[in-house]
Amino acid sequence: MYTLTTTDEHRFGSDVYVLDLLRTPTGGLVSISSDQKLSLLDPASLRRGPVSSFQTDHGNLTTLRLFGDNVVCTAGENGNVGVWDLRAGAQVVQFATSEAPLASMACNPETQTIAVGTELHNHEASILLWDVRSAPVQKAAYHDLHSDDITTLTYHPSNPNVLLSGSTDGLVSVHDTSVADEDELTVQTLNLNASIHRAGFLGPSLVYALSHDERFAIYDISEAQGSGDAIKDFGDLRGGTGCQYVADIVPKNDGSGAIVGAGAQDQQMFELMFLTNNQGSWEVNRGNSVGLPGAHGEEIVRAYCFFDESQMVFTAGEDGRVKAWRPGN
């Protein structure tokens, strides 16, 4: 294992969780935290604190997504979506999407569309698409795609009409949103048989699914592999990696695999492991993993991101801290 060292950090507060952390296309860091704040951080100097900070109005803030170079979206329990211009330091618009709490969101700048997924509310879990080109206008509403909370949404990397959804009902579904009839919308349904925590694309036709109890599988959704069965079912990742939880799966930009971020609180360790494809055989490779010893103490790491050009990793945790990591001297 190759280890990194903490070089800088910012602490939001002892009773604050950092819920998510993203790298912006312009090289900044943006976070959301349990004190209901959206914060922009300078990765070169975390200890100075936020460059700017915004108080959100979502009840409990749950979701952060990028929408452009300097634009991000937030959402939460009151069903509202906020669109923020980080460069201008202001909220562009806030609009109500649903009476139900929002559990997930995906943004497609190409089509100026924001997709939100709701918790189960009045026996219904919905996916709602909003066009935000001028004033926000609802462009589609789907109410029968899942039977429980919709926990994750993501757009296809190259086809803006294809939307992936995952739910606590155990299903991951691929939808063609150019189809008007909801009954014909779903292209393929994948069943992990466990509540979905994360799901996304590893390539044009490859999908991964991660459950809340760390079950992990990869699927091929191409027409040639239309069965819906996993091409690789890893089972519970805790058994093969020694971790206690998996924070996220972050696909690599070149389509060669992904980074699996997993932690063990009792060891105060967080590890970045490589998900690789060797001639069609997928494996989680711990041999060349990157360790972050000390991590966020005994608290869970909620999110991580990379600055490969400067060999830096940033993490955010339930200890209220954002940390910078780099190779030691």
Q: How confident is the model at residue 253 (pLDDT cuts 50, 70, 90)?
A: confident
Report residue 318 as tokens: 């339930």
Torsion, Cα 320 322 326 329, to 10 degrees, reads: -60
Predicted local distance difference test score (pLDDT) of residue 51: 95
Taking residues 212-216, report their average pLDDT: 97
Taking residues 165-169, report their average pLDDT: 98
Tens digits of per-residue pLDDT, 19-63? 999 999 999 999 999 999 999 999 999 999 999 999 999 999 999
Taking residues 175-180, report their average pLDDT: 94
Is the separation of the CB atoms in 216 and 193 below 8 Å?
no
Tens digits of per-residue pLDDT, 93-136? 999 999 999 999 999 999 999 999 999 999 999 999 999 998 89
Tens digits of per-residue pLDDT, 40-51? 999 999 999 999
Torsion, Cα 252 62 30 5, to 10 degrees, reads: -60
Predicted local distance difference test score (pLDDT) of residue 104: 98
Q: What is the mean pLDDT of the chain?
A: 94
Taking the C-alpha atoms of residue 6 and residue 20, their distance in angstroms, rounded to an integer, is: 19
Predicted local distance difference test score (pLDDT) of residue 287: 82
In the predicted structure, residue 329 carries a pLDDT above the cut 70:
no
How many CA within 13 A on the CB side of residue 119? 13
Taking residues 158-186, report their average pLDDT: 95
pTM of the predicted model as reported, rounded to 2 decimal places:
0.94
Closest by CA to 296, choosing from 11, 1, 2, is 11
Taking the C-alpha atoms of residue 179 and residue 305, their distance in angstroms, rounded to an integer, is: 35
User: Could you tell me which residue, 3 or 255, shows the higher pLDDT?
Assistant: 3
Tens digits of per-residue pLDDT, 88-105? 888 999 999 999 999 999
Is the separation of the CB atoms in 154 and 164 below 8 Å?
yes
The distance between the two most distant Cα atoms of the chain, rounded to a whole number of Å, is 59
Report residue 59 as tokens: 């009840």
Predicted local distance difference test score (pLDDT) of residue 312: 95
Predicted local distance difference test score (pLDDT) of residue 226: 65
Predicted local distance difference test score (pLDDT) of residue 224: 65
In the predicted structure, residue 316 carries a pLDDT above the cut 70:
yes
